[in-house]
Amino acid sequence: MAPSSFSTLCRYFAAKAEYTLLSLKSYEGGGERDFIYKTMLLRKLTYLYRNEGDQVAPTGGKGEILLVRKLPIAAPKQVSVGDLVVLKNPEKEDNYLVRRLTAIEGYEMVSTNDKDEPFVLEKDQCWVEAENKNLKPKEARDSRSFGPVDMTDIVGRVIYRLRTCVDHGCVRNSHSSMLKDWPVLAVELDVEEMSKNHKA
């Protein structure tokens, strides 16, 4: 990626500072200065994730490499409806899913099945769904089968995907999230590294 402009770098380090301060609230290891130094200067705000399912096709398919922005806390100010998120799998411990965030606390959920009663998502709850319309709800393994999930189970937002060395690009998220993620993408995106991980 081309060298980032000064304003982009400023926005990037502002994002790192915000991430560091939010992470510090839940940090319990001691040595806060060392933690701040490492988080601000040495650690990236993103990581690579290999997508193993086809639940979010056509946005992402099986075997694709995704660039995920880390989220220290998942709250309505950090994620928005419409974001493609990585979350802890409520059905399988130590496993993760990629799904689209479709509703957050306060949203009324109405089923297409007349037998199901409408309900409102409670505080810190959210609803996630697969994008692949060819899958039945049980195959999709999303909130339609396992119900609402805790916002705290969201660990990141997908900001870029690589299908092949020539087929890659930004992931469509909510407008506000895409604005927040742009400086991170401008500084940390490394398509060559993503391609290497795709082959591995």
Q: Which domains does the chain have, with CATH numbers?
A: 46-199 (2.10.109.10)
3-state class (DSSP) for residue 48: strand
User: What does DSSP assign to residue 118?
Assistant: P
The token pair that represents 195 in the structure block: 């391609």
* pLDDT, tens digit (0-9, with 9 covering 90-100), for 24-39: 887 777 788 898 889 8
Question: Comparing 2 with 141, which gets the higher pLDDT?
Answer: 141
* pLDDT, tens digit (0-9, with 9 covering 90-100), for 48-102: 999 887 777 777 677 899 999 999 876 767 899 999 999 999 988 889 999 999 9
Tell me: pLDDT of 3 over 80: no
Tell me what the mean pLDDT of segment 186-190 comes to.
Answer: 96
What are the φ and ψ backbone dihedral angles of 170, each rounded to 5 degrees?
-65, 150
Question: Is 26 buried (19+), middle (13-18) or exposed (0-12) by CB count in 10 A?
Answer: exposed
Confidence of residue 1 (pLDDT cuts 50, 70, 90): very low
CA distances from 5 to 10, 152, 186 (A): 9, 34, 9
Query: Residues 70, 46: contact at Cβ < 8 Å?
Result: yes
- Distance CA(143)–CA(17), nearest Å, equals 33
Element (H, E) at 141: none
Pairing of strands 84-88, 96-104: antiparallel
Average pLDDT, the chain: 89
Q: Give start and end residues of each alpha helix (H) in 27-174.
A: 32-37, 137-140, 143-146
Query: In this predicted structure, what is the pLDDT of residue 166?
Result: 85
Closest CA to 121 of 129, 136, 110: 110
- Distance CA(189)–CA(183), nearest Å, equals 10
- Distance CA(9)–CA(17), nearest Å, equals 12
